[in-house]
């Protein structure tokens, strides 16, 4: 489990920190992304933090995310996608020595990886399940996507209007009507 956590933390940090740019602290969405990244960075640097410490840290981020939604500090799309990222992170660190949860974990984590990466993940041949590298890569990719979602928020309405204008038919020209001859 600890190896799984460190591998997940390292891969997330490597991909996310190399792609994500520091964000304004006043934006709640950016603050939540930063808190997620910095939490795993701190756990990886500390070199410990079994499931209890990771779950405690994730619970804190989840509570803050729910409050942000209630206060209207984050838009519904960001909330939905960030919440799903938190859910998958929780699922990825669950210990399941008997393998009872494998079908659930494979389905939910697999759908997330496919949605984010556009590819159906391959199963890890050793014990079944999805390889932790694929999960960490998808989590990092979604962090980047969330950052881009926030960065493009101000231009979203303008871009939607430009698209709508492209789909509208140009106004028809009035053809001169013949006047009846008297």
Q: DSSP string covering 60-103, please?
A: HHHHHHHHHHHHT-S-HHHHHHHHHHHHHHHHHH---TT-TTHH
Q: Pick the closest to residue 128 from 152, 147, 109, 153 (CA basis).
A: 109
By the 8 A CB rule, do 153 and 75 touch? Answer: yes
- Give 74's contacts (C-beta < 8 A, 6+ positions apart): 28, 29, 32, 65, 68, 82
Which of 46-50, 72-76, 90-94 has the weakest average pLDDT?
46-50
| Domain ranges across the chain | 2-164
Read off the pLDDT of residues 77-93 as tens digits, 9 standing for 90 and up: 999 999 999 999 999 88
Read off the pLDDT of residues 156-168 as tens digits, 9 standing for 90 and up: 788 888 888 888 7
Residue 61 has pLDDT above 90, yes or no: yes
- Give 12's contacts (C-beta < 8 A, 6+ positions apart): 37, 40, 136, 139, 140, 143
Tell me if the pTM is above 0.85. no
Query: Which residues partner with 123 through β-bridges?
Result: 130
Average pLDDT over residues 88-113: 90
Q: Which residue has the tokens 């494979």?
A: 106
Percent with pLDDT over 70 in the chain: 76
Average pLDDT over residues 35-46: 87
- In the numeric block, which tokens belong to residue 55? 């779950």
- In the numeric block, which tokens belong to residue 80? 């939905």
Q: What pLDDT was estimated at residue 14?
A: 47
């Amino acid at each position: 489990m600890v190896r799984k956590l460190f591998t997940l933390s390292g891969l997330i940090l490597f991909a996310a920190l190399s792609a994500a740019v520091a964000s304004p602290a006043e934006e709640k969405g950016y603050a939540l992304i930063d808190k997620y990244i910095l939490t795993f960075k701190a756990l990886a640097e500390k070199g410990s933090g079994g499931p209890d410490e990771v779950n405690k840290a994730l619970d804190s981020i989840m509570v803050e995310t729910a409050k942000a939604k209630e206060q209207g500090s984050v838009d519904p799309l960001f909330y939905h996608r960030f919440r799903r990222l938190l859910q998958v992170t929780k699922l990825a660190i669950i210990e399941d020595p008997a393998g009872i949860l494998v079908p659930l974990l494979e389905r939910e984590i697999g759908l997330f990886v496919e949605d984010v990466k556009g590819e159906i993940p391959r199963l890890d041949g050793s014990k079944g399940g999805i390889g932790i590298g694929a999960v960490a890569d998808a989590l990092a990719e979604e962090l980047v996507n969330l950052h881009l979602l926030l960065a493009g928020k101000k231009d979203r309405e303008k871009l939607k209007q430009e698209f709508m204008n492209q789909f509208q038919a140009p106004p028809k020209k009035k053809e001169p009507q013949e006047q009846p001859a008297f």
